[in-house]
Amino acid sequence: MSIESNSDSNESFLDNQLQSENGIRHDKIFLSVTGDKDQEINEVLAALQSEENRIKLSKASQYKASDKANNEGGANSDKTNGDKVNYIYRNGTSLNILQPKAMVIALMAIAVTIIGISLDNLFIGALGVLVNLFLSGTILIPWLKVVLSEWLTPQQRSLTIALIGLTIAVIAIVRFSDVPINWDASGTLAEWFGALGQISIAIIAVYVAWRQYVISKNLTIQQNLLTVQQNNLTIQQNSITQQQTIDSYFQGISDLVLDDEGLLEDWPQERLLAQGRTAAILGSVDAQGKAKIIRFLSQSKLLTPLKRDSHLGRAIFDGKGGYAEDRYYGVRVIDLGVMLAGADLSHSDLRWTDLSDANLVRANLSDCDLVKANLARCILYEGNLSDSDLNGTRLFYGTAENASPRSRDSPPNYKTGEYTGAVVQNVDFSNVKRMPERVKYYCCAWCGDKSRATIPGGCQGIPNKLEEGIGD
């Protein structure tokens, strides 16, 4: 076989290997880089890094090495091809595989060795042994190199050789030293080696167990990191989805308000639709999402009772660029009602929000920023206000001495403060910040014994009006 024909056959084989199953050549993708070049280049790199192309490139390197060997052989390659040794490439190391003629010689050497042993002939037996050792070493030595390179790291191979050398050195020192050794007293050499072997096995067992522990620990750490990353990704995706939902809600409410016959006019059906949307979204978002919605509705005056025209029901301007409030007879565009009962609003920003008349029974308002928030006539029964900022928070109208909680039977008096206050019975006020004295007085008077113990600074000198049965 000539060099040119061998090269052509290998090139043809590689050309076939580079074709995909559906007949499309992968190398053609280099000719289709048009349009978005960066994207197509990334696709090309991804295709080259696939497992299928990696195997094909490995095969290509094998045939390239074979072509190089054929080129070096020249014209004599046909004559020596039958006797030369084939190579299998594995991890960069070549393993010799005997050709048929060499295998015949090996079988003959084995037969000669067996005959020499049978005839008890030293010459014939020694000849067979030498040939067997030569051929076996030719095969086994490269294989042992591959095995050692796969099983042992360079550091482990060095330590193994060092231990073997140390053992041989100790044996040589004992053998050639003049120090007398009483072998009968210390035991036979076989017993020593037996004990050494058992100790080595125990050491290896401990090492294997330790390695398994290290591998298991590393796998556990990696799995935990992967779980944390997946959780973070899930949280980010949920946050994005929630924000899109809130934005859609804002747009829908804005369209209703800004319509020619919008919600600020007396159209009960539109107000009911707005309340239904609000109730649905408040039940599907977290504390921060609820706070965003409440701030939006408060700043838009959609939670405030507005004074309306008695005939058309339209909101009346206050002459200052806004809408006039009417705490007695005003109508809210959106009435929160019981939408926030038992809701989690912890760690949220509720500054300047209007939650008056809302039902916040057992709501969690811990660590909230309630600066300038309006909680008058709000039902906070068994709620949690711990660690919240109450600077400027309104819990009632009028004076603290005259103010009382809301009542089902008596209308509020916003001048004197009677029945305008929030229901604060059994509320947790632990570690509240910047609570005004008037708010403290009201809370101590109407929160009950359980809550009085949680108010910072205590309630000394402030009467417990809740025991008098005033209010509801």
User: 74 and 128: one domain?
Assistant: no
User: Which stretch of DSSP H or E encloses residue 94?
Assistant: strand 93-97
List pLDDT tens digits, range 125-179.
Answer: 888 888 888 888 787 788 778 877 878 788 887 888 888 888 888 777 776 776 6
Q: Let me know if residue 29 belongs to a domain.
A: yes
Last residue of a domain, one of 178, 194, 222: 178
**Residue 332 · residue 304 · CB < 8 Å:** yes
**Residue 437 · residue 390 · CB < 8 Å:** no
**Residue 434 · residue 388 · CB < 8 Å:** no
Q: Per the structure block, which two tokens stand in for 246?
A: 């809130």
User: 13 and 94: one domain?
Assistant: no
User: 20 and 59: one domain?
Assistant: yes
What percentage of the chain's residues is helix, strand, coil (to nearest 5)?
Answer: 55, 5, 40
Which segment of 62-71, 276-285, 294-303 scores lowest on mean pLDDT?
A: 62-71
List pLDDT tens digits, range 273-288.
Answer: 889 999 999 999 999 9
Q: For residues 67-75, give the mean pLDDT.
A: 52
User: 50 and 128: one domain?
Assistant: no
Q: Let me know if residue 21 belongs to a domain.
A: yes
Q: For the chain, give me the number of helices (H) and strands (E)? A: 13, 2
What is the reported pLDDT for 178?
66
Q: Let me know if residue 356 belongs to a domain.
A: no
Domain count, the chain: 2
Last residue of a domain, one of 155, 178, 201: 178
Residue 62 structural domain: 1-81
**CA–CA distance, 331 with 304 (Å, rounded to integer):** 8
Last residue of a domain, one of 128, 157, 178: 178
List pLDDT tens digits, range 432-472.
Answer: 999 999 999 999 999 999 999 999 999 999 999 987 655 44
**Residue 390 · residue 370 · CB < 8 Å:** yes
Contacts of 387 (CB under 8 A, 6+ apart): 366, 367, 430, 431, 432, 433
Q: Let me know if residue 327 belongs to a domain.
A: no
Q: How much is the pTM?
A: 0.56
User: 90 and 164: one domain?
Assistant: yes
